[in-house]
């Protein structure tokens, strides 16, 4: 819950900063937000990870992909925050986000909450490949809902 409130505060601060720089005459700033659940299914647990002292035993709290799309005229910027320790397939994700939002990859910012209470979305362990693909898919679906 605290992360969700912090995320929304950051968006308000970002929107305020953008507005304070001034918009082109006649332009308006449009903001779209969406959230997607990226919580692993129960069949992933228990999950033994060689980098962790104890196995992951189940879901305590849901994990989310939070998306904000800011648009002024023809300019569009996308911010994605994942409840994860790292960005899965970062270059692929940036390209797919940019395509879904109809913007360029340099207008995409992806960040993570770096929670160590989540499975590490790395494909060094092939058991997690479907979860990585699910996370990317859910994030793209969230972006499409922002339009």
Concatenate the DSSP letters of all residues of 128-140 into one string.
Answer: GHHHHHHHHHHHH
By the 8 A CB rule, do 81 and 61 touch? Answer: no
pLDDT in tens, 117-147: 788 888 788 889 999 999 999 999 999 998 6
Task: Read off the pLDDT band of 18 (50, 70, 90).
Answer: low
Number of domains in the chain: 1
Does the pTM of the predicted model rise above 0.85? no
Contacts of residue 70, Cβ cutoff 8 Å, sequence gap at least 6: 14, 15, 18, 29, 30, 31, 76, 77, 78, 79
d(CA 63, CA 72): 30
**Domain of 102?**
2-145
d(CA 130, CA 141): 16
Q: Taking 70 as the threshold, does the pLDDT of residue 73 lie above it? A: yes
Q: Residue 139: its pLDDT value, please?
A: 97
């Amino acid at each position: 819950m605290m992360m969700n409130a912090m995320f929304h505060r950051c968006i308000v601060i970002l929107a305020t900063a953008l507005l304070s720089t001034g918009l082109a005459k006649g332009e308006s700033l449009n903001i779209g937000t969406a959230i997607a659940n990226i919580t692993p299914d129960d069949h992933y647990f228990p999950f033994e990870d060689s980098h962790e002292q104890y196995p992951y035993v189940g879901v305590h709290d849901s994990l989310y992909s939070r998306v904000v799309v800011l648009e002024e005229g023809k300019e569009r910027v996308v911010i994605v925050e994942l409840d994860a320790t790292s960005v899965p397939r970062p270059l692929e994700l940036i390209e797919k986000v940019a395509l879904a939002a109809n913007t360029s990859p340099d207008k995409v910012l992806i960040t993570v909450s770096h929670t160590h209470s989540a499975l590490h979305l790395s494909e060094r362990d092939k058991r997690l490949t479907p979860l990585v693909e699910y996370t990317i898919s859910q994030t793209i679906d969230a972006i499409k809902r922002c339009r």
